[in-house]
């Protein structure tokens, strides 16, 4: 099949094409070039391509193209694992549908259901939702899926990991069998195949996987640190690198809260994002991050999937993620849409094995770098300040300040004066603020079945490793103890038993937190990963 590269060649209708042009997309990305023609033919698809390569438009454009303007029923359903993603995909679909006027609506937990019901009365044609809240509406009969012709599962593997299998099954049973189903993600672990077999008809696998899974424009480094050095390491890194926008990933909700608070105390404009925040709080944090009023977003894996915020120049894994997949998705928040990005990971000595495991699975070398020195941090701050000085000088418009400058220059040396200005501006943020974070346990290598690449080829040596040094944890199972939610050590899932999912824990996070207690740790014999509740 010839790969089409310009959007005009796809035969999209003019109003859809107009939106693409307006958005400034010149060329289709490889995944778009491969998927769009097949999707337009009505084929079922499994689409895999690196983070930030335009998968949303790859399914969004054919979808919008196919929906008749005068349609009054819900004819398309897009499912996403998290609320933020539902909102973002809805926004992108909204942009792509701008000229055609296709109506879409995001539906997710945490948002006032009455308001959603009101919005549903306006006859949306595309629903973009998280599985739990969708089911709620289906049960209330406020959403009817009888006329759905196209279903998209975005980040399908994450939805399975979060325990949405049952919900997805229940939902798909209500969609007519005569439909088109598409499944997209950057990573495709083996459980996806099962889902695909069950719900897709003769699907075309469309994958754009170069040698490595993560996006090529991300410069990946790691710093070996002790747990207690991490915070100072982070502030030095931020000072040295001066990111435009940075996302710092922490392992748990507590970690994120503490870290955001600590950064704040040191004078950084940072805020935390995790699943215990109300939807309003989460929306507010994302808004501030998108408009640049905060420049460091500290987050649990909630923000790791699919989120597309332009200007994210740096991702820092303050704590290493458990899975290679998470690593790929986390660092994929930078280096998007052809831009460059930097990913830094803090690795404690006991986690070095785990880092090498991630390197092997992602087939990408992660370069070791030293902890930035204080001098480098200070120099970084001064460099940025100098750049700002120069911008201001070049912009002119300094008349109000010149009088005092002239006065001072008559009495003092110009170098000393400028140095004093630097000191004043870049000098100690509240470095005295005493910061102590609760330490996190190191991550250890776990045996599991990641199949991060759809080819199913496993790098040699893979799967034979047991944990690093010492300690707790089943040696055979892949113990998913890194997810937020505090259920550390609470459950084991045998490496091949990802099929069943725990329904406990509450589906929607608008429920009271009492409904969302993690499973007690005595239930370690269960092979079912508990559903992560915060995102629905």
Ligand X SMILES: Nc1ncnc2c1ncn2[C@@H]1O[C@H](COP(=O)(O)OP(=O)(O)OP(=O)(O)O)[C@@H](O)[C@H]1O
Please report how close the Cβ of residue 111 comes to ligand X at its closest, in angstroms: 22
Number of residues that bind Mg ion (CB under 5 A): 2
Q: Cα(86)–Cα(289) distance, rounded to whole angstroms?
A: 17
Please report how close the Cβ of residue 35 comes to ligand X at its closest, in angstroms: 11
Q: Which two tokens stand for residue 4?
A: 């089409």
Q: Cα(272)–Cα(262) distance, rounded to whole angstroms?
A: 11
Query: Of 175-234, which residues contact ligand X (CB under 6 A)?
Result: 186
29 scored as a contact of ligand X (CB under 6 A): yes
CB 71 within 8 A of CB 292: no
For Mg ion, the closer of residues 128 and 342 by Cβ is: 128
Report which of 161, 131, 104, 116 is spatially closest to residue 325, judged by C-alpha positions: 161
Report which of 441, 438, 443 is spatially closest to residue 257, judged by C-alpha positions: 438
Q: Tell me which residue has its CB nearest to ligand X.
A: 54
Which of Mg ion, ligand X, none does residue 492 bind to, with CB < 5 to 8 Å depending on kind? none
Element spanning 225, H or E: none
Span interacting with ligand X, options 27-35, 136-144, 203-211, 218-226, rule CB under 6 A: 27-35
3-state helix, strand, coil in the chain (%, to 5): 40, 15, 45
308 scored as a contact of ligand X (CB under 6 A): yes
Which of ligand X, Mg ion, none does residue 51 bind to, with CB < 5 to 8 Å depending on kind? ligand X
- 306, 341, 468, 530: which one contacts ligand X (CB under 6 A)? 306
Report which of 137, 128, 131, 45 is spatially closest to residue 81, judged by C-alpha positions: 131
Span interacting with ligand X, options 45-53, 205-213, 464-472, 474-482, rule CB under 6 A: 45-53
For ligand X, the closer of residues 161 and 224 by Cβ is: 161
Strands annotated E in 157-260: 180-185, 204-208, 218-224, 245-249
Alpha helices in 204-303 (DSSP H): 230-241, 253-265, 279-290
Q: At what angle do helices 165-173 and 191-199 cross, to 10 degrees?
A: 10
Which of Mg ion, ligand X, none does residue 214 bind to, with CB < 5 to 8 Å depending on kind? none
For ligand X, the closer of residues 311 and 500 by Cβ is: 311
For Mg ion, the closer of residues 158 and 227 by Cβ is: 158
Please report how close the Cβ of residue 305 comes to ligand X at its closest, in angstroms: 7
Query: Of 300-319, which residues contact Mg ion (CB under 5 A)?
Result: 306
Span interacting with ligand X, options 26-34, 129-137, 268-276, 488-496, rule CB under 6 A: 26-34
Span interacting with ligand X, options 20-28, 69-77, 243-251, 520-528, rule CB under 6 A: 20-28
Query: Of 319-348, which residues contact ligand X (CB under 6 A)?
Result: 332, 336-337
116 Cβ contact partners less than 8 Å away, ≥ 6 residues apart: 105, 107, 133, 137, 142
Pairing of strands 218-224, 245-249: unpaired
Q: Which two tokens stand for residue 444?
A: 């250890």
Element spanning 48, H or E: strand 45-49
Number of residues that bind ligand X (CB under 6 A): 19
For ligand X, the closer of residues 77 and 262 by Cβ is: 77
Which of Mg ion, ligand X, none does residue 65 bind to, with CB < 5 to 8 Å depending on kind? none
Residues 47-76, mask of contacts with ligand X (x by CB under 6 A):
--x-xxxxxxx-------------------
Query: Of 44-73, which residues contact Mg ion (CB under 5 A)?
Result: 55
For ligand X, the closer of residues 52 and 124 by Cβ is: 52
- Three-class SS string for 279-330? HHHHHHHHHHHHCCCCCEEEECHHHCCCCCCCCEEEEEECCCCCCHHHHHHH
For ligand X, the closer of residues 329 and 354 by Cβ is: 329
Upper half-sphere CA count for residue 316 (Cβ side, 13 Å): 24
480 scored as a contact of ligand X (CB under 6 A): no
For ligand X, the closer of residues 53 and 533 by Cβ is: 53
Angle 311-315-321 (CA atoms, 0-180°, nearest 5)? 145
For Mg ion, the closer of residues 49 and 259 by Cβ is: 49
Binding site for ligand X (CB under 6 A): 25, 27-29, 32, 49, 51-57, 186, 306, 308, 332, 336-337
Binding site for Mg ion (CB under 5 A): 55, 306
């Amino acid at each position: 099949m010839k790969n089409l590269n310009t959007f005009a060649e796809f035969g999209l209708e003019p109003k859809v094409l107009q939106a693409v042009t307006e958005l400034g997309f010149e060329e289709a990305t490889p995944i778009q070039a491969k998927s769009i023609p097949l999707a337009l033919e009505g084929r079922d698809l499994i689409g895999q391509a690196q983070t930030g390569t335009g998968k949303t438009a790859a399914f969004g454009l054919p979808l919008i193209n196919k929906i008749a303007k005068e349609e009054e029923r819900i004819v398309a359903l897009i499912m996403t694992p998290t609320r933020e993603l539902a909102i973002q995909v809805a926004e992108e679909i909204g942009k792509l549908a701008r000229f055609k006027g296709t109506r879409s609506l995001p539906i997710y937990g945490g948002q006032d259901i009455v308001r959603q019901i009101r919005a549903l009365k306006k006859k949306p044609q595309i629903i973009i939702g998280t599985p739990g809240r969708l089911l709620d509406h289906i049960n209330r009969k406020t959403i009817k899926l009888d006329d759905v012709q196209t279903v998209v599962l975005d980040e399908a593997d994450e939805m399975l990991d979060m325990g949405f299998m049952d919900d997805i099954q229940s939902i798909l049973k209500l969609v007519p069998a005569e439909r088109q189903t598409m499944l997209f993600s950057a990573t495709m672990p083996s459980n996806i195949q099962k889902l695909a077999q069950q719900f897709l008809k003769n699907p075309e696998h469309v994958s754009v996987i170069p040698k490595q899974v993560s996006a090529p424009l991300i410069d990946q480094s790691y710093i070996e640190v002790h747990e207690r050095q991490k915070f100072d390491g982070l502030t030095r890194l931020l000072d040295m690198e001066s990111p435009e926008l940075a996302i710092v990933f922490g392992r748990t909700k507590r970690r994120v809260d503490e870290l955001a608070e600590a950064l704040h105390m040191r004078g950084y404009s940072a805020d935390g994002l995790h699943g215990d925040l109300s939807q309003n709080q989460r929306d507010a944090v994302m808004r501030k991050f998108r408009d640049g009023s905060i420049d460091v977003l500290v987050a649990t894996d909630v923000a790791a999937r699919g989120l597309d915020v332009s200007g994210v120049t740096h991702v820092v894994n303050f704590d290493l993620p458990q899975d290679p997949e998470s690593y790929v998705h986390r660092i994929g928040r930078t280096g998007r849409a052809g831009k460059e990005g930097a990913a830094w990971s803090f690795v404690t000595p006991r986690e070095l094995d785990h880092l090498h495991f991630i390197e092997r699975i992602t087939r990408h070398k992660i370069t070791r770098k030293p902890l930035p020195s204080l001098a480098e941090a200070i120099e970084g701050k001064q460099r940025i300040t100098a750049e700002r000085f120069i911008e201001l000088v070049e912009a002119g418009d300094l008349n109000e300040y010149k009088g005092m400058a002239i006065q001072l220059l008559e009495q003092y040396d110009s170098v000393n004066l400028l140095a004093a200005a630097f000191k004043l501006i870049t000098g100690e943020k509240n470095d005295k603020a005493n910061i102590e974070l609760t330490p996190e346990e190191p991550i250890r290598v776990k045996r599991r079945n990641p199949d991060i690449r759809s080819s199913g080829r496993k790098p040699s040596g893979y799967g034979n490793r047991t944990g690093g040094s010492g300690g707790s944890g089943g040696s055979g199972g892949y113990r998913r103890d890194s997810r937020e939610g505090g259920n550390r050590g609470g459950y084991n899932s045998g490496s091949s038993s990802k099929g069943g999912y725990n329904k406990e824990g509450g589906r929607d996070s608008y429920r009271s937190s009492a409904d969302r207690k993690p499973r007690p740790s005595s239930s370690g014999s269960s092979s079912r990963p508990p559903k992560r509740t915060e995102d629905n």
